[in-house]
């Protein structure tokens, strides 16, 4: 059980029961993504590694799980007035697709420098896009204003109970498929995937250690875990665009501070090497953010010899030019 006595009384902190409910809501819409293995990766880590391939999820990332669950949980009045979200890309695409499938209007606030592939996909799913400058403007304030003007529901990318519960279904599926783990390693941006994964891991594999991984340039989560409260930082710069956040969510941290063993960081160079490994040895495309957890293991940041390790590959949405440029640079 998670102790939430110190959390704000206004927080609805999800539990594993909410993850199980989310699994029912998203069934038939979200893909049950494969779990991949590699003898080469196992040899590098001297461990048994199980990669949950959310880069093969609908809309190209785990975000579809939480977005679809959040939209499916809306009442009829809220569905008619639509949803608003802010995102650098993966949540944008996921919510746009989830809303389209359920006949709900969607407006997405995206940074001007979001990857073109993510902007194009969000438009293709039928969402209205509002652009902002991530280094000078407050995306949350813009989104709250738009939601108020339209009487729409704000569905943030991570600080939301139904989003967290939906994201937790990825780890649920992973553990159901491969059995109990010694360690589960999860990318960390705002904390939705890590918090949801922690709920599932605690319930299904109680002895499993839970570790989050974020970009070295933006270690707000690591600082927060060390300090015991949410730490805010200036917008970091990293190729891991999906993890460029200034702080973890309040709902998320209410879970993370009681469940996560550690949070570590990796460099952009380590992310590139991990992208290269997946492309060359496992024949899959994983975006920089999606490589965070794997980089910590494959680049030796986390030692896990002799362990059974679950690794979340959170997304594969990277445009081919950027992918080629990153892998070509030495």
| Active site positions, annotated | 63, 88, 214, 218, 220, 314
What backbone torsions phi and psi does residue 181 show, to the nearest 5 degrees?
Answer: -120, 155
3-class state of residue 95 by DSSP: helix
Q: Which helix (H) or strand (E) holds 81?
A: helix 76-81
Cβ 301 vs Cβ 295: under 8 Å: yes
Cβ 73 vs Cβ 169: under 8 Å: no
Q: For 87, list phi and psi in degrees, rounded to 5.
A: -170, 150
Three-class secondary structure of residue 122 per DSSP: helix
Q: Are 246 and 238 in contact (CB under 8 A)?
A: no
* End-to-end CA gap in the chain: 47
- CA–CA separation, 196 and 193 (whole Å): 5
d(CA 302, CA 2): 26
Closest CA to 20 of 149, 199, 230: 199
> Which residue from 54, 74, 75, 65 is spatially nearest to 98, judged by alpha carbons?
65
For residues 141 and 147, what is the distance between their CA atoms, to the nearest angstrom? 10
CA distance 173 to 179: 10
């Amino acid at each position: 059980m998670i102790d939430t006595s110190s959390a704000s009384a206004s927080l609805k902190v999800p539990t594993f029961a909410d993850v199980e409910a989310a699994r029912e809501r998203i069934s038939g819409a979200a893909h049950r993504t494969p779990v991949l293995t590699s003898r080469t990766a196992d040899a590098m880590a001297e461990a048994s590694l199980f990669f949950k391939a959310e880069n093969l999820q609908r809309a190209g990332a785990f975000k579809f799980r939480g977005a679809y669950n959040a939209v499916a949980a809306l009442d009829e009045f809220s569905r008619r007035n639509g949803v608003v979200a802010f995102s650098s890309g993966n949540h944008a695409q996921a919510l746009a697709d989830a809303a389209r499938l359920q006949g709900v209007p969607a407006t997405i606030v995206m940074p001007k420098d979001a990857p073109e592939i993510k902007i194009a996909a969000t438009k293709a799913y039928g969402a209205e896009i509002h652009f902002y400058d991530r280094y000078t403007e407050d995306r949350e304030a813009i989104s709250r204003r738009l939601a108020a003007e339209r009487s729409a529901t704000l569905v943030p990318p991570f600080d939301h109970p139904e989003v967290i519960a939906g994201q937790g279904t990825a780890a649920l599926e992973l553990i159901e498929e491969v059995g109990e783990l010694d360690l589960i390693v999860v990318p960390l941006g705002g904390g939705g995937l890590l918090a949801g994964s922690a709920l599932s891991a605690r319930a299904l594999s109680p002895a499993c250690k839970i570790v989050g991984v974020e970009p070295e340039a933006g270690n707000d989560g690591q600082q927060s875990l060390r300090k015991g409260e949410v730490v805010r930082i200036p917008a970091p710069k990293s190729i891991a665009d999906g993890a460029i956040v200034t702080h973890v969510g309040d709902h998320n941290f209410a879970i993370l501070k009681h469940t996560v063993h550690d949070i570590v960081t990796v460099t952009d160079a380590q992310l590139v090497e991990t992208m290269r490994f997946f492309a060359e040895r496992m024949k899959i495309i994983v975006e920089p953010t999606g490589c965070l957890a794997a980089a910590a293991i494959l680049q030796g940041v986390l030692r896990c010899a002799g362990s059974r390790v679950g690794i979340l590959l959170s997304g594969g949405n990277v445009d081919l030019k950027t992918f080629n440029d990153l892998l070509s640079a030495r």
